[in-house]
Structure 1
Amino acid sequence: MNKDIILLRTVEVAAIASYKYIGKKDKNLVDKAAVEAFEVMLKNEKGFILKVINGEGELDNAPMLYVNQMLGDINNPESPIFDVSVDPIEGTNPAAYNFAGSISTIAVSRENTMLQMPEMYMEKLFVKDKYVNTINLADGIVNNVLKMQEQENRKDLRCIILDKPRHYKIIEELNKIGVIVRLIQDGDVLAAIDVVNGEADFVYGIGGAPEGCLMASLAIASGCKMQSRLVLYNEIWPNEEETKTRLNKELAWMSKHNIDTNTILEDFDLVSDYRTRFFAAGLTAGGSLKPISYKKGKFFVNAFMASHGIVRNFNTVYDVNKVNGLKPDIKYLFDKYKR
């Protein structure tokens, strides 16, 4: 079967498996269901192999979807290998407490084209296609916004930014120069989908570095643009017990890759493949991606795909009884995670 259909179905089924735990106030259950769905859907697929480059996280010692795990047709030496970055559920906390901001997502590219990112912070600027040649993150976010405003000849650009204390000063500055700011609690990958779908002009903020590969893939696949730079843990959490340990790991990784916190990383530095593909499905979602719903034995899933500058938004219906009769792997998940 076509690899794209398999990956699209994987994120959709991961959202369906996690649906049971929306609002249950346990983000670990949300994540566990999605991780198992990914594993079940991908571990035995034929015709290709997926290598996890950015997965469940090196700090968590994840038993599944861990970095360098191989999925798919692993016993066939002729199967092509693809790199993947995966976030089974971006926004487990929004899902656990039933507010907007959670999706299931995966990005794929040719072998050895995806950069394995450390578990650290990253400053990211993701802009719509009109600003591909406008931005330069080295100039600072305000100067970039002023250039975009000048290009548009208007001030009321629409920005999405995480509502975190580290962004409060920037939010104030953006408001002063006329930007329409939409605050979110979680989910800068989801926010980037909104930019692609025309719901916002840009996303800015300091979030997770591994998610940067997902956003880079989305930027390349959709014809948009992302620039980023790494941010040391002690800049965000200077007084935490784990700060020193994490800082040492971060510095070692940056030295190995000849990258420092002044290095501006283009999207192509993170995913060096113009044929990269990006997939997502809404859980509690928000913005242009709608939340999953269930009614009378059917799941209604809103999904998204981007590749080669082509953007697709899907409305998919999973009729549980019909699917159970045709797909035993999905039936297993439907039975285990039925509402």
Structure 2
Amino acid sequence: MNRDIVLLRTVEVAAIASYKYIGKKDKDLVDKAAVEAFEVMLKNEKGFKLKVVNGEGELDQAPMLFVGQILGDLEDPSVMTYDVSVDPIEGTHPAAYNFAGSISTIAFSRENTMLQLPEMYMEKLFVSTELKESINLNKGIIESIKMMQLTANRRDLKCIILDKPRHKDIIKEMNDMGIIVRLIQDGDVLAAIDVVNGDADFVYGIGGAPEGSLMAALAISAGCKMQSKLVRYEQIWPNEQETEVRKNKEKAWLDKYNLDFDSILEDLDLVNDHRARFFAAGLTAGGSLKPVDYKNGKFYVNAFMSSHGIVRNFNSVYDVKKVNDLKPEIKFLFDKYKR
């Protein structure tokens, strides 16, 4: 089967499997359903292999979708291997409490082109195609915003940013600059999809580093632009008991991955492949992606794909009875995660 269709179907089925636990206040169950769906959908595919570069964690932390895990055609040594970053559910908390902000997503690139990122904080700026030549995080976010306003010839650019205490000052500054700020609780990858789909001009904020790989693949594949920089834990949580422990962990991580806190990482530093691809499907979604719905024996799924500067938004309908008759591996998931 076509590789792109396999990956598109994987994120769609992961969202469908997790639908059972929307609003059940257990984010681990949401994630577990999606992780199993990923493995079931990918483990026996022929014609290619996928190597998890950024996943659910190391082997001892995550029994499935762990860093280094190989999925796909394990029997044929001649097939191509691709790097993947996966987030079976980005936004498990909003899914567990049934508010906007959760998707299933995967990105892939040629083997050995994707940078493995540590479990750290990262400052990320993701901008639309129109503004891709206007940013320079070396000069700081305020100067980048001024450059974007100059390029667009308007002040009222639309920004999506996580509504977190660490962003309080920059949110105020952006409001003072005339920026229209949309606050979200979770999901900067989903927010970046909104930029690609034209619902916003840029995403900015400090979030998880591994998600940066997904956003970089999205930027490259959709013709947008992303810049990023790793951020110290103590900058976000200066007075926490865990801060000293995290400082030691961060030093070890930086040494392991040959990274630092000063370098600006371009999207191609994170995913060095102009042919990278990105896939996502809405769970509780929000913005330009719609949430999964179920009615009269059918699942309705809104999905997204980008590659080579081409952006596609899909509306898929899964007729449970017909799928169960034709696809036993999906029937297993539909039976197990029937709401």
2:43 is the alignment partner of 1:43: yes
Q: Which runs of 5+ in 2 are unaligned?
A: none
Distance 2:259 2:15 in 1: 35
Q: Summarize the alignment of residues 55-134 of structure 1 with structure 2, pairs less than 5 Å apart.
A: 55-58=55-58, 61-134=61-134
Deviations 1:2-61 (A, max 9, x none): 100000000000000000100001100000000000010001111111000000124970
1:291 partner amino acid: P
Contact 1:280 1:304 in 2 (8 A): yes
1:304 partner amino acid: F
Distance 2:237 2:30 in 1: 27
Deviations 1:202-241 (A, max 9, x none): 0000000000000000000000000000001111122333
Distance 1:50 1:29 in 2: 25
1:252 partner amino acid: A
What residue number does 2:255 align with? 255
Distance 1:236 1:151 in 2: 32
Distance 1:333 1:257 in 2: 36
Distance 1:59 1:95 in 2: 25
Q: Summarize the alignment of residues 233-244 of structure 1 with structure 2, pairs less than 5 Å apart.
A: 233-244=233-244
**Cα gap change, 1:58 to 1:240, in 2 (>3 Å):** farther
Offset at residue 253 of structure 1 (A): 2.6
What residue number does 1:216 align with? 216
Distance 1:109 1:248 in 2: 32
Contact 1:59 1:119 in 2 (8 A): no
RMSD of aligned alpha carbons: 1.1
1:330 partner amino acid: I
Offset at residue 139 of structure 1 (A): 1.1
Contact 2:116 2:257 in 1 (8 A): no
What residue number does 1:14 align with? 14
Q: Which runs of 5+ in 1 are unaligned?
A: none
Contact 2:13 2:37 in 1 (8 A): yes
Distance 1:10 1:152 in 2: 37
Distance 2:234 2:328 in 1: 48
2:289 is the alignment partner of 1:270: no
Distance 1:232 1:219 in 2: 24
Distance 2:250 2:307 in 1: 32
What residue number does 2:200 align with? 200
Distance 2:292 2:60 in 1: 28
What residue number does 2:139 align with? 139
Aligned-residue sequence identity (percent) comes to 76
Q: TM-score, normalised by structure 1?
A: 0.98
Offset at residue 245 of structure 1 (A): 2.6
Secondary structure in 2 matching 1:20: helix
2:25 partner amino acid: K
2:157 is the alignment partner of 1:157: yes
Contact 1:160 1:202 in 2 (8 A): yes
Distance 2:286 2:60 in 1: 27
What residue number does 2:5 align with? 5
Secondary structure in 1 matching 2:254: helix
What residue number does 1:321 align with? 321
